[in-house]
Amino acid sequence: MERETGSRREAVRQAAALWVVRLGDPSCSAADRAAFEAWRDESHENEAAFEREAAAWARLDRLRAMRPGPVRLTEARPDRDLLAPERRLILPRFSRSPWARGMAAVTVAAVVGAGVMTFGSGTAYATAIGERRVVVLSDNSRIELNTDSKVVVRYRKGVREVKLVRGEAVFEAAKDARPFVIKAADAVMQADAGAEMAVRLRSDGAAVTVKRGAVALDPEPTERKDPVRLTAGVAAIYSSAGHRSRVVSDSEIDRALAWRQGAIALNGQSLEQAVAEFNRYNRQQISIADPSISGLRLAGYFQTTEPKSFVSAVTSTFPVRAFEDSDGAIRLSRRG
């Protein structure tokens, strides 16, 4: 009798896995099915190996529970990096309550038709706390506004100018003869056609992350210096003290922009930073009553509109207790 070897086992399992994938494909034909049955009838070894791979495939269907709720206004774009290692979930069950999805839908719907004001030559677009919105401009450029944000758009003959007045936004500059200029906190940026970047105002200055294309950043337009060129995958921070930039990975950019999917992605941030992040999106505010817990590090993927899920994840993971005041504010303190 011939001795079985690992490579033979692997070859059989490999073939079985390919059949599982093929049969699961909606475009699988009757001929494929017949070929599969012929293969399976060849041996009980094939039959058992197929059952084994098929069982694993079926178990993996449970991953659908990881899918975040539909929150985008314009399109539901599947997030291919949802399960990237940097985004390990703390407690996945929290990310999908029907309540949260309902709320997100309501919030997005409420935005439509509200928050547009035209004055002079510019048009202002704004969001309230917890809202997001996508604005498509006349040249097909897009602006996606995060929570509690405001931009003023001024398109003139020689220039397309947008000013970030409050909060955070992603800008996608469409191709056009006129330059696309973004003003934010005293700085002026000129985006290449096709560029996509996020700008977030800080207490002093702003943070810029370039996702696609390139942007020329001039942090101090009054000084006569050459602008800094930021290319895709670069993040820069500027303030009155100066500016610095660094290279960031795609996944880091996706995490920073998780809000476009209605999520907050934490990857080692402190509890203090995480709480500040949640408070941007919710009227229900969280505070840390005990400084000794502010430094706890968190990782996970949360719905922006679900501070309570975040809080229960924190209290079940750390020695932290949550107390809800009569006005709804949540206070976190050390337990025990």
Partner 1 sequence: MTQDDEHRRAWFRREILPLEPDLLAYARQFCRDGQTDPEDLVHETFARAIACKTWREIGNPAGFATRILRNCALDALRRRKVLTITAVADFDRIEPIDETPGAHMMLESREELRALADAIAELPTQCRRVFTLRKVYSLSPDEIAVRLGLSVSTVEKHLVKGLRYCSEKLGRRIGRKSKVDEGRSWSARRDHDAKR
206 with 190: CB under 8 angstroms? no
Give the whole-angstrom CA distance, residue 16 versus residue 50. 5
Among the listed residues 11, 34, 35, 56, the single contact to partner 1 using CB under 8 A? 56
| Residue entry with tokens 């030559």 | 121
**Is 48 an interacting residue with respect to partner 1 (CB under 8 A)?**
yes
- Upper half-sphere CA count for residue 92 (Cβ side, 13 Å): 12
Pairing of strands 180-184, 160-166: parallel
303 with 263: CB under 8 angstroms? yes
The pair of structure tokens assigned to 170 is 């992603």
Residues 83-112 that bind partner 1 (CB under 8 A): 83-85, 87-89, 91-93
- Upper half-sphere CA count for residue 144 (Cβ side, 13 Å): 16
Closest CA to 68 of 81, 79, 59: 79
**Is 75 an interacting residue with respect to partner 1 (CB under 8 A)?**
no
**Is 299 an interacting residue with respect to partner 1 (CB under 8 A)?**
no
**Is 252 an interacting residue with respect to partner 1 (CB under 8 A)?**
no
Nearer to partner 1, 50 or 278 (CB): 50
Nearer to partner 1, 83 or 114 (CB): 83
The nearest distance, CB 22 to partner 1, in angstroms, is 7
Angle (deg, nearest 10), helices 30-42 and 44-59: 120
Nearer to partner 1, 25 or 204 (CB): 25
Residues 14-33 that bind partner 1 (CB under 8 A): 14, 17-18, 20-22, 25-27
Q: Which stretch binds partner 1 (CB under 8 A): 74-82, 197-205, 262-270, 283-291?
A: 74-82
Among the listed residues 32, 39, 57, 220, the single contact to partner 1 using CB under 8 A? 57
From edge to edge, which strands make up the β-sheet containing 168-172? Answer: 133-136, 142-145, 168-172, 196-201, 206-212, 234-239, 242-247
273 with 85: CB under 8 angstroms? no
The nearest distance, CB 195 to partner 1, in angstroms, is 21
**Is 247 an interacting residue with respect to partner 1 (CB under 8 A)?**
no
Among the listed residues 49, 126, 173, 311, the single contact to partner 1 using CB under 8 A? 49
Among the listed residues 34, 65, 106, 329, the single contact to partner 1 using CB under 8 A? 65
Closest CA to 68 of 228, 302, 316, 271: 302
**Is 42 an interacting residue with respect to partner 1 (CB under 8 A)?**
no
Among the listed residues 29, 34, 42, 67, the single contact to partner 1 using CB under 8 A? 67
Q: How far is CA 332 from CA 288, 299, 326, 327, in A?
A: 5, 18, 15, 15
| Residue entry with tokens 């029907």 | 98
Residues 196-215 that bind partner 1 (CB under 8 A): none
**Is 266 an interacting residue with respect to partner 1 (CB under 8 A)?**
no
Binding residues for partner 1 (CB under 8 A): 1, 3-6, 9, 12-14, 17-18, 20-22, 25-27, 43-45, 47-49, 51-53, 55-57, 59-67, 78-85, 87-89, 91-93
